[in-house]
Amino acid sequence: MEMGLLGLPQSGKSTIFRLLTGTDAATSRKRGEALRGVGVVSDPRVTELSGIFRPKKTTYATLTFVDMPSLDLESDRKDRNKVLQHVQNSDALLLVVRAFEDAAVAWPGRYGDAASQLEALTTELLVRDLEVAETRLTNLGEQARKRKPSPEEAAELSVLELALAGLGEGRPVSHLQLTAEQLRQVGSCGFFTAKPTLVVVNVDEDQLRAGTYPGQSEVEAQCLAGRLGLVTLSGQIEAEIGSLPPDDRAVFMEDLGLTEPGIDRLARAAYGHLGLISFLTVGEDEVRAWTINQGTAARAAAGKIHTDLERRFVRAEVVPYETFMTYRALAEARAHGVIRSVGKEEIIRDGDIVTILAGA
């Protein structure tokens, strides 16, 4: 799962990237390049299970973040599209908006508060998608004059027209109620407004303590209307806390009224917004969390672990984490009949401990 950080210059993207991944974004990077980093999603269930199984290896779920170049609203369309291209491979977008106030960090007045930045960013994405749809429609239209469109092209054309009409009214592709099939038909456009999107408001210490920032109610209204996820972080302060010795962190977090680290809040919001859940595998070799879409069946979940396991899937043994924890051993759980043997169609749920049984 890859998430691209998009925002105006000096909004705190690189600071938040460092908070989430521990990677210093200032390290050797050419102008205009994006930087990838991995953030570990802490999961107390994995920690508990690791304590029980004492495996050789413990693996938490991860999220990949991409610190993108800043979107400079003053630069021309071509340069802005170059920045936006970095979004192409992202499964989801994080729109970083600056709320923190610091006279030492330049901030042109016209960039405005968090709400106007959010408005500017979502408009950028809409305009880009509108251009892509128009270009594709023109190309297909020209082809259609030379020869009869294939059935796929005809289907794509009609969905493109829907998309274009919606985008023209300022509606993101994710709001157009296109079916999965229709989205596939316009897949080559890679619409950015079809991607799940979360807004990250970067606040300062005072705002964090007060629980409010300028433009908050508009941001919340925009997120509600646009079905965007919303997380409030203080990139700088939380990164500073993260660099303290572990024993000191709790004190500072408590003082700020933070109950969990930024990555955990963001991961939870992202999982919720993207409809992701984790299932768990256990054993002497490894205890591990795996990320899947809600509603994934046992066989497809097996494919996450290894394509071979999907191909040779016979059945799966499943026990919810909470149930397992009353027995704390698979043999014990089995003896009490709480491990279910399920077929390939069984939907795997968040926190299920899963053992895949595969044939030859």
Ligand X SMILES: Nc1nc2c(ncn2[C@@H]2O[C@H](COP(=O)(O)OP(=O)(O)O)[C@@H](O)[C@H]2O)c(=O)[nH]1
Quick one: tokens of 118?
């959010």
| Minimum distance of Mg ion from residue 139's CB (angstroms) | 35
Of these partners, Mg ion, ligand X, none, which one is at the site of residue 236 (CB under 5 to 8 Å by kind)?
ligand X
Of these partners, Mg ion, ligand X, none, which one is at the site of residue 281 (CB under 5 to 8 Å by kind)?
none
Q: Is the CB of 240 or the CB of 350 nearer to ligand X?
A: 240
- Site for ligand X contains 69 (CB under 6 A): no
| Minimum distance of ligand X from residue 223's CB (angstroms) | 20
- Site for Mg ion contains 122 (CB under 5 A): no
Q: Is the CB of 65 or the CB of 271 nearer to Mg ion?
A: 65
- Site for ligand X contains 202 (CB under 6 A): yes
Of 128-136, 234-242, 316-324, 331-339, which part binds ligand X (CB under 6 A)? Answer: 234-242
- Using CA atoms, how far apart are residues 354 and 333, in angstroms rounded to an integer? 13
- Site for ligand X contains 197 (CB under 6 A): no
- Using CA atoms, how far apart are residues 265 and 16, in angstroms rounded to an integer? 13
- Site for ligand X contains 15 (CB under 6 A): yes
- Site for ligand X contains 102 (CB under 6 A): yes
- Site for ligand X contains 124 (CB under 6 A): no
- Site for ligand X contains 9 (CB under 6 A): yes
Among 4, 8, 12, 14, binds Mg ion (CB under 5 A): 14
Residues that bind ligand X (CB under 6 A): 7, 9-15, 70, 100, 102, 105, 202, 204, 234-236
